[in-house]
Amino acid sequence: MEPIVTTTSGAIRGHTEAGVTRFLGVPYAAAPVGPKRFQLPEPAPAWAGVRDATEMGATCAQTPYPAYADALIGSDHIPGDEYLNVNVWTPDPSATGLPVLVWIHGGAFTRGCNAKPIYDGTAFARDGVIMVGINYRLGVSGFAVLEGAPSNRGLHDQIFALRWVRENIAAFGGDPGNVTIFGESAGAMSVAALIAAPQTAGLFHRAIMQSGNGAVAADAEDARKVSAALAAELGISPTAEDFGALGPDELRAAQNAVALAVMTDPDPQRWGPSIIQLGGGIMSMFPVVDDDIVEGTPTEVLRAHPDRAVPLIAGTTADEFRFFTVPAGLAAAITADTLPFVLTRYGIDPEVAQTYSTERPDATPAEIFNAILTDLSFRAGTYDFAEANAVTAPTNVYEFAWPTDLPSLGACHVLEIPFVFDTIDDAHTLTGPTPPQSLADEIHAAWVAFATNGTPGWPLFTSDEKTVRIFDAPGSATVTDPRPTELAALRKAIASV
């Protein structure tokens, strides 16, 4: 069956299978090529006739993940200019008033797309929720600060896509008044930025942050240091005109070189403190304070404008940072002797390691390092944003604690995604061969319930009652303020540097 719906740019043909209809690679904005690569998004041109929407669309130019990450989650590259596109899964295009989930993918703001198999929206549509997956500009195209170009072009794309959803989702059976945005990693940081942005009022009504935080907004001067390094790598000036004259292959190569330099030499003097402390050495380009859509870090903005809060789920995995160090071989280099030096390079007082060691007496130095960086890069900023949001809006917090079957990765970054999407059969390179279906059933159902009526099924998180749902198998639990001693020690260690 190939149903047809009409969008603001023209008619599209989808495909129905097993009661779910999907429309793939639908442009929501014009192709950002040439000089337009560094300008604000524009409406997609209208087309005549019926456009086929049964294959995944193009992705933003990007280099493959490092080999260790590629082996776990795969890389993304579908060539083409029309990469500002959406995928839509719906249970019934002829329905009315269905709840809507809009997915914002992760990838450190330099990689990723809406076409990964683990992002397939079939299970959400099966359970009565329309799911929309969006692409946006990444890396140099989306987030480099360049003279003659607006900043945060990738965030502008996300807002543009949400406006497309508001104008078009009824044609797919959805309710534009019941939209929930959700994202992981860079996608979750985007969610925080969108909640705080003044331009997004009414575009969504609930939000879910998976493995992000609310502290990510680089200082503009620090971001210009990264742009200067990119320009030097290319032998040009850091202007939109010079960058716009280059093709995607040249931009990819420079982007990869600078990202590697930031990761291997996380020196705040070289890159600026906000790039290193907020990017964690993992991200070199990300949202930047621009006095427009990013007025400051999302948590700071939300504290100043509590009226912008929306009902929220926010959480992390228990062992986020292992994803970045264990398979890459970096964890093996962290010993009792090197741990203080490495922590200092991240702007952390190494004395904090003693607290974590006391709380985790059997942990190795590498495990201590990963626990500290998990809290620094994800958990602390998630809790801070949740507290700010909880002042005026219902807020739920979770931790995903089930450890993958793969050695030493634990409950690492990305691991919860196939459980949320109920796509664990497509994720065995990350989960191992025997992920618990019962856990996927539980967390997926919580996300469906939240998108439908705002109640995921566990008590609210407040500054007084830091209630956290621990998702695990064989059984989940609800606890209060897990590991408070560690988090308090980390905050002190950061403040003392």
CA torsion 37-39-40-43 (nearest 10°) is -60
Half-sphere exposure of 242 (CA within 13 A, CB side): 16
Note the helical H segments in 89-138: 122-126
**CA atoms of 420 and 441, how far apart (whole Å):** 8
- 295, 320, 367, 442: the active-site residue: 320
Note the helical H segments in 337-435: 339-345, 352-359, 365-374, 380-390, 417-420, 428-431
The yes-or-no answer on residue 320 being catalytic is: yes
With b meaning 16 or more CB within 10 Å and e meaning fewer, what string describes 372-385?
bbbbbbbbbbbbbb
Q: Cα 17 to chain center, whole Å?
A: 29
**CA atoms of 80 and 61, how far apart (whole Å):** 9
Q: Which residues contact 34 (CB under 8 A, 6 or more apart)?
A: 244
Paired residues of 312 in beta bridges: 207, 395
CB-based contact 346:376 (threshold 8 Å): yes
Cis peptide before 436 (omega within 30 of 0): no
Residue 451, SS3 per DSSP: helix
- 75, 151, 185, 377: the active-site residue: 185
With b meaning 16 or more CB within 10 Å and e meaning fewer, what string describes 275-291?
bbbbbbbbbbbbbbbbe
Biggest CA pair distance of the chain: 67
The yes-or-no answer on residue 185 being catalytic is: yes
CA torsion 296-195-36-176 (nearest 10°) is -170
Half-sphere exposure of 114 (CA within 13 A, CB side): 30
- 105, 156, 205, 413: the active-site residue: 413
Q: Select from 76, 91, 77 the least CA-distant residue to 14.
A: 91
Please give the structure tokens belonging to residue 219. Answer: 């200082």
Paired residues of 396 in beta bridges: 313
CA dihedral sign, ordered 242, 247, 252, 253: negative
- Which DSSP symbol is given to 333? G
Active-site residue numbers? 185, 320, 413
